[in-house]
Amino acid sequence: MSTLDFTLPNAQGDMISLSDFRGKKVIVYFYPKDSTPGCTTEACDFRDASAAFAAKNTVILGISADSQKRHQNFISKYELPFELLSDVDHAVCEQYGVWQLKKNYGKEYYGIVRSTFLINESGELIQEWRSVKVKDHVSEALSFLEQSN
């Protein structure tokens, strides 16, 4: 198992591994919380571009520390056509270095720093975007994919 590989439950409780997608590129995006404004925008941007990613042989996986039930509601409400995985103990977030100390309104807490990783068909990391700003991020990722083909 590579250091990038992981196995997490999806919204239905099925175990999904990164290695399940060998032969395809995989966008793995980490986001703070279902149904918050920035995370909703990001998920909907990925949803709206999902056909373009699929045309580039690329699967989208979203990961947060939310429960499977929250993921089910989020997927249903926004008709998300990709898997959302639950990392409730944030082990995969720590593995990818996105579980970090954050500050908001003078309070410090640990949480997910919005980040996206592009994994190639062999399971190797080929691009990472850290501390992502939601606006234009999905189009940047898609442009990178188009340029790298």
List, in sequence order, every beta strand (DSSP E) within 4-82. 7-9, 15-17, 25-30, 58-64
User: What are residue 103's DSSP bridge partners?
Assistant: 108
Give residue 2's pLDDT.
55
Nearest to 96 by CA among 117, 73, 72: 117
Give residue 111's pLDDT.
95
Model-level pTM?
0.95
Q: Quick one: tokens of 33?
A: 């919380």
Q: Quick one: tokens of 35?
A: 């149904």
Decide: 142 and 116 in contact? Cβ < 8 Å. no
| Mean pLDDT, 10 residues at a time, the chain of 149 residues | 84 97 97 95 98 97 97 98 98 96 92 96 95 95 89
Give residue 148's pLDDT.
81
* Look-up of token digits 């992981």: 6
The residues that are catalytic are 39
